[in-house]
A and B are shown apart, each in its own frame.
Chain A
Amino acid sequence: ELKVEQNPLFLSMQEGKNYTIYCNYSTTSDRLYWYRQDPGKSLESLFVLLSNGAVKQEGRLMASLDTKARLSTLHITAAVHDLSATYFCAVDMDSNYQLIWGAGTKLIIKP
C-alpha cells in the first residue's frame, strides 16, 4: 500500500525564518505534486516535480524531489504571513491512475 507521510503536520513559525516541510512516500514514483490550501478555500497547484533531482522555485518556496530516497521537500525562505496555509504533497502511483495524498502540513506564520 502506498503511503505518503508529511511532517511536520503543524508548524508555527516567525516571519523571516526558514523552514522545510518533508514528504516521504513508500513506493517508486517519479511524479510528485505540491498544493496549497487556504482556510475554507480550494486547493491550488504549486509545483509539479517529474524526475529525480527536479527542483522548482516560486518566490519564497522551493520544492525538490529525490526519487531514490522517496523524499520531496518544500523549503520556505524568509517566511512571510501570506504563506500561512495548509500544504499538501501528492504522489502518482506507477501502477494505476490514482493520486495518493499526504495529510497536509498546516503552516502558521506569525508577524
Chain B
Amino acid sequence: EAQVTQNPRYLITVTGKKLTVTCSQNMNHEYMSWYRQDPGLGLRQIYYSMNVEVTDKGDVPEGYKVSRKEKRNFPLILESPSPNQTSLYFCASSFSRQGTEAFFGQGTRLTVV
C-alpha cells in the first residue's frame, strides 16, 4: 500500500530536549516536505527536499533541521525545541514538485512544555 509514515504520532517533550520526527515513503517519490499546521494559519512549509541530498528552506525553517540521505526518508529534527514549536506536523511526498498531488502522513502532534 502506498503510504507516508510518520513517527511518533504524539509526542510531549520538554524545552531544549532534542527530538526527531521520522518520515518514510514507499512510493519512490523525489519530492518530500514538512509542514506545520496551526489553528487559523493553515499549513506552512518548514523544509522541502527535491531529491537525495537536496534540501531547502520553506516559509518557517527557524528551529528545524532536515536531512535526506535516502530517497525514502526525510526526518525532521528539532535540536532545541521551544514551546512555540508546539504544533501539528505533517510530512508529505509527491512524484515531482509541480503538477502532481502530494501524499500526506498521518501527522505528529508535538507539545513542548
Contact = CB atoms under 8 A, between A and B. Distances in A.
Chain A partners chain B: yes
Interface residues of B, number: 26
B75 interface: no
A97 B42 contact: no
Contacts of B45: 98-99
B103 to A, nearest CB: 7
Contact of A103 (B41, B97, B101, B104): B41
Contact of B48 (A41, A98, A101, A103): A98
Contact of B44 (A33, A41, A101): A101
Contacts, number: 53
A65 to B, nearest CB: 13
Q: Is the interface of A mostly helix, strand, loop or mixed?
A: strand
A70 interface: no
A50 interface: yes
Contacts of B101: 33, 45, 48
Contacts of A99: 33, 45, 97, 102
Nearest to B58: A98
Interface of A: 31, 33, 35, 41-45, 48, 50, 88, 90, 92, 97-99, 101-104
